[in-house]
Amino acid sequence: MDKIIMFIGLFILSIGACKKPPIQNGDESLEDIPYNPTTYQVQSPPGLPQMEMPTTNLMTTQGIKLGRFLFYDPILSRDSSISCGSCHKIEKAFTDGRATALGIEGKIGTRSSMSLINVGYFWKQNRQNNFMWDGKFATLEEQALAPIEHPLEMDFTWDEIIVRLKRHPHYPKLFREAFGIQYKSGITKELAAKAIAQFERTLNSADSRYDQTEGPAKIPFEYLSEQELRGLQLFLGDTDGSAPTKDGECAHCHTFTQNKSLFARNDFSNNGLDSTQSLNGFVDNGLGDIISDATANGKFREVTLRNIGLTAPYMHDGRFATLEEVLDHYATGGHPSPNLDNILETAPDLKSLTQTEKGDIIAFLHTLTDSSYFNKAEWKTPFDQANPWE
């Protein structure tokens, strides 16, 4: 009788073994880890529009958690020395304070690290050129893949990163919880990019002193000083036929619609950084190279002015150290080129701005600074915690 019971036990165990494939080449089942994703709905800060979301990467709290770890983990760089967070620091509105980005081994990039604050709002579903200074990527997911293999950034390969992630003591579990993969072999660069993009879509900010107002027609003086109000009026220009008569033309590219504003037109333009008589004479062609159109050479993304006081130096190559230098540049009308933005050539008020008026505009721009998120634990690196993986 005992032999029969033993035989039955061994038979049951053999059936169980058939249901769960053996470990092969480092692959193993993750099905014992619960997969219960929690849907996450982005709540737009008051004053911002509703964020459009791709249906191919629905957000969950588990996906955001994984994305946050990957964003701050130097494991994604060849020598494990830098992470996404190295070039996107929370206290600098997720920029790095450098003219151009710094990669592994001190490699110097060619462009400035762009702010990630409110980055999710700049996606247009049917447009191919949504992200980066030159519009190279259509989605945040595509953009998240690129720095890894860029020779001046992380200088690694996704194949090697996937090996690291599969062998990691914690990442397989996080991928399982976020995306429901059944085996370690289910970890892919596409899922990693989706997670990073989910985290980036949570980095939304609109709690500046300006946001405590009710729009230009009802701005209470207790929130903005007289200088800041003058700057706002110059920023808007003569929109209603009243004083001031001068128009600083700022709202031309940094669109303003009452409080519901990202302070960015979400477009590309040539703002007169280079002087050239030919469309092929630009130092950096920007959008033109991406869409293979010489008429777009020298055009770059018009950035949001929210938190602009935190993101110096300015322009795609960081050539201007201060907002004062930026205003001085625009007041000259920019350097001549065949496709210079028309507003720089036809705006007499812009060229006649006094130093005082420039100072007023800059004072207003500083009211767009939101530092309230500096202490948001969910935006900071998890690796500063005593037990980050718990």
Whether residue 335 contacts residue 274, with contact meaning beta carbons closer than 8 Å, is answered with yes
pTM: 0.90
Cβ burial of 384 (10 Å; 0-12, 13-18, 19+) is exposed
Per-residue confidence (pLDDT) for residue 8, from 0 to 100: 43
Q: Which of 234 and 13 is assigned the larger pLDDT?
A: 234
Tokens at residue 83, please? 């992470």
Q: Is the pLDDT of residue 11 over 90?
A: no
Ordered DSSP codes for 270-305: --S-S--SSTT--S--BHHHHHT-GGGTTBEE----
Is residue 379 scored above 90 in pLDDT?
yes
Is the Cα torsion angle 136, 114, 50, 236 positive or negative in sign?
Answer: negative
DSSP notation for 171-198:
HHHHHHHHH--SBGGG--HHHHHHHHHH
What CA–CA distance (Å, rounded) separates 208 from 231? 16
301 strand-pairing partners = 268
Q: What would the pLDDT profile of 181-214 be if each residue is shown by its tens digit?
A: 999 999 999 999 999 999 999 999 989 988 887 5
Total count of residues recorded for the chain: 390
Cα–Cα distance for residue pair 29/1, rounded to 1 Å = 36
Better pLDDT: 262 or 83: 83
Measured N-to-C along each axis, helices 323-331 and 355-366 cross at an angle, to the nearest 10 degrees, of 130
d(CA 59, CA 300): 30
Average pLDDT over residues 81-98: 97
Is-cis flag, bond preceding 382, omega within 30?
no
3-state SS class at 223? coil
- Mean pLDDT of the 301-315 span: 96
What are the tens digits of pLDDT across the range 280-295? 999 999 999 999 999 9
Per-residue pLDDT, 73 = 98
145 three-class SS: helix
Q: Report d(CA 249, CA 348) in Å as an integer.
A: 10
Residue 6 scores a pLDDT above 50: no
pLDDT for res 4: 47
Mean pLDDT over each residue of the chain, to the nearest integer:
89
Beta bridge partners of 320: 314
